[in-house]
Chains A and B, each alone.
Chain A
Amino acid sequence: MKIKDGFVLREVAGSFIVVAVGDAVKEFNGIVNLNETGAFLWKMLEKGATKEQLIKALLGEYDVDEPTAEKDVSAFMEKLQEAKLVK
């Protein structure tokens, strides 16, 4: 799973938001709000991380057990797929 071209993550006024730039605006005109964990996972995805790597990173960064980390990553990836931010 890869983030589509033209989607950027920004931190504005304490919020993490994803918006489209350039031609991607024609496809997606909205704003996606991410929490801190979501932003962390997004940044890893930007670098091309796999699902397994995301889970591992989450386990390393936050105080969670493996089933929870896996559930969180799956939910995150589903959210991105629903919003059509990934290909």
Chain B
Amino acid sequence: MPRYKIADVVFDAELIYGYTAKLCEKYLYSGGDKPEFTAVITQKDIDAEKALDGGEKFPDYYLESLALFRKLCDYVLSFRQGIIFHSSAVAVDGKAYLFTAPSGTGKSTHARLWREMLGNRVVMINDDKPIIRFIDGDFYVYGTPWNGKHRLDTNARAKIAAICEIRRGKVNKIYKISPQEMLMVVMNQTIRPTETEKLDNLFFILDKLLSCVPLYRLECDISEEAAKTSYAEMVENAEIKG
């Protein structure tokens, strides 16, 4: 049974298909820490993924990888103050910036613009489904193998410096938004549990996250100018202001 370490959680996985094993290869763990749990994926889990909206169009091996992701997210939410946050997470000089938006808006594209602008100062933590965790009063974003269609992730973590909602606009502009405004965005970009206890774990984490991380909204097109706009405000100005 393969052993992985993802989001600083060591666990064993009992898998059916090679696809998931291959996907998670970079996160194989051979260190001395004991596994915290075993994720056993059965046909029942795969069928549950299939029953979800849009699930029927995917092959079982792919749905297995989603089932494993769901089990991991469930574990971190229940026991490790962590959540999935659908976003493109980039680290610049070690600090992480999370771009979030509904699929198709251009968060991956915006992350690519940052890479083109900043070169090797940028590390792609994860382009689609990073996990974020609240540890000793700080928020960290972790790479995961569920990395989006461009297959971009790094087995690493970085402290979160800012979160930015992306909207398409004709004029590039960026401004701060309130926790209330960001809450509605984030709620749609995470997995919402149905059990009260887990839901309250999620709310606890979001409450902390939105009160201690700077929150922005970027209205932008797809241009170098858009990346300059967001970088200037989120990185340069933030550093001046301290």
Q: Is the CB of B194 within 8 A of A14?
A: no
Question: Please, how many angstroms separate the alpha-carbon atoms of A13 and B204 in the complex?
Answer: 9
Which residue, A8, A13, A21, A25, has most C-beta atoms of chain B within 10 A? A13
Shortest distance between the CB of A18 and any CB in chain B (Å): 12
The one of A17, A25, A33 in contact with B194, judged by C-beta atoms closer than 8 angstroms, is A25
Asked if B192 is at the interface (CB within 8 A of a chain A CB), the reply is yes
Asked if B13 is at the interface (CB within 8 A of a chain A CB), the reply is no
User: When A and B form their complex, what is the total count of cross-chain residue pairs whose Cβ atoms lie within 8 Å?
Assistant: 39
Q: Which of B100-108, B152-160, B195-203 sits within the interface?
A: B195-203
Q: Is the CB of A14 within 8 A of B203?
A: no
Residue on A nearest B196 in the bound complex, by CB: A21
Question: Please, how many angstroms separate the alpha-carbon atoms of A21 and B195 in the complex?
Answer: 6
Q: Which of B115-123, B129-137, B175-183, B220-228 sits within the interface?
A: B175-183
The one of B182, B184, B194, B203 in contact with A10, judged by C-beta atoms closer than 8 angstroms, is B203
Q: Is the CB of A13 within 8 A of B194?
A: no
Chain A window 1-28, contacts with chain B (Cβ cutoff 8 Å), 1 for yes, 0 for no: 0000000101011110101111001000
Question: Please, how many angstroms separate the alpha-carbon atoms of A25 and B192 in the complex?
Answer: 10
The one of A10, A13, A25, A33 in contact with B210, judged by C-beta atoms closer than 8 angstroms, is A13
The one of B187, B195, B210 in contact with A22, judged by C-beta atoms closer than 8 angstroms, is B195
The one of B178, B192, B206, B211 in contact with A19, judged by C-beta atoms closer than 8 angstroms, is B192
Question: Please, how many angstroms separate the alpha-carbon atoms of A38 and B75 in the complex?
Answer: 34
Q: Is the CB of A15 within 8 A of B194?
A: no
Question: Please, how many angstroms separate the alpha-carbon atoms of A17 and B182 in the complex?
Answer: 13
- What is the size, in residues, of chain B's interface with A at 8 Å between Cβ atoms? 18
Chain B window 144-183, contacts with chain A (Cβ cutoff 8 Å), 1 for yes, 0 for no: 0000000000000000000000000000000000111011
Asked if A75 is at the interface (CB within 8 A of a chain B CB), the reply is no
Q: Is the CB of B178 within 8 A of A14?
A: yes
Asked if A31 is at the interface (CB within 8 A of a chain B CB), the reply is yes
Q: Is the CB of A15 within 8 A of B192?
A: no
Q: Please name all residues of chain B whose beta carbon is closer than 8 Å to the beta carbon of A21 when the two chains form the complex.
A: 194-196, 199
In the complex, which residues 17-69 of chain A have their Cβ closer than 8 Å to any Cβ of chain B? 17, 19-22, 25, 31, 33
The one of A10, A20, A25, A31 in contact with B200, judged by C-beta atoms closer than 8 angstroms, is A10
Give me 13 other A-B pairs in contact (C-beta within 8 A), A12-B183, A22-B196 excluded.
Answer: A8-B199, A10-B200, A12-B206, A13-B182, A13-B183, A13-B206, A13-B207, A17-B183, A21-B196, A22-B194, A22-B195, A25-B194, A31-B184
Give me the interface of A with B, judged by CB distance under 8 Å: 8, 10, 12-15, 17, 19-22, 25, 31, 33
User: What are 24 A-B contacts defined by CB distance under 8 Å?
Assistant: A8-B196, A8-B199, A10-B199, A10-B200, A12-B203, A12-B210, A13-B180, A13-B206, A13-B207, A13-B210, A13-B211, A14-B178, A14-B179, A14-B180, A15-B179, A15-B180, A19-B192, A20-B194, A21-B194, A22-B194, A22-B195, A22-B196, A25-B194, A31-B187
